[in-house]
Amino acid sequence: MGWTMRLVTRALFLGLTMMITRGWDKRDVCVYQQLPAEDNVFCTGLHISYEELKNLTCIYVPECNNYREKITKWPHPNVTFPEAMENSTYLLVMVDPDAPSRVNPLARYWRHWLVADIQGSDLKMGNIQGRVLSAYQPPTPPPKTGYHRYQFSVYLQGKNKITLLQYEMQSLGAWQLEGFLSRYKLNQSEARTQFMTQNHMDSPGPQVPGANRTTHEICKQT
């Protein structure tokens, strides 16, 4: 190859490299990070997945692909409890204990979803069918309030006829979850999990203080 041809080849290579670099968006790189140890212990056997996020068990919602905005609009997730007893009946609870913020949770617990009379055979498959006491409300953390935990728990309902009292139906916020569970003698969850996210306008970048980075992937989670 002649001297002139080598120069042309090098120029073409540099030009292609610049085009690729300029067209690359750092938000295309998905970083899936586990929750810190003190939050990770909450997760015991329950699995959560949305249409584009196949596993949100004890992780931060990734910043890439506008996931933190999309999750505020998606329908309810699949909730799967593989160890559910097929002939038993379960109650599903989803709450935000960090409303309006984790440092000032005056509206704890914010009720995001409450479903009774779920058959164990459906719960094993992630098919949540039952009597909806509170319709699903997507995670919508307010701006400038930091990360919120979204917690899911399932309880063995037994023969309980679960209902909300009139005053409980008047508001989703400041729900007295412990009192509700105590009323039906639901002292111990069968399984639970959580994920964290913050308002998408607050996301500074892929680094999450205090998190344990586990994988780097290109816009795909397994």
The CATH number of the domain holding residue 190 is 3.90.280.10
Flag whether 176 is in a domain.
Answer: yes
Structural domain tally of the chain? 1
Flag whether 12 is in a domain.
Answer: no
Q: Containing domain of residue 54, as a range?
A: 29-218
Question: Which residues have a Cβ under 8 Å from the Cβ of 128 and sit 6 or more positions away?
Answer: 76, 78, 79, 92, 115, 118, 122
Give percent of the chain with pLDDT exceeding 70.
78
Flag whether 5 is in a domain.
Answer: no
Flag whether 22 is in a domain.
Answer: no
Flag whether 11 is in a domain.
Answer: no
pLDDT of residue 116: 98
| 205, 33 contact by CB (below 8 A) | no
Flag whether 63 is in a domain.
Answer: yes
Flag whether 42 is in a domain.
Answer: yes
* pLDDT band per the 50, 70, 90 thresholds, residue 156: very high
* The pTM of the whole model exceeds 0.85: no
Flag whether 45 is in a domain.
Answer: yes
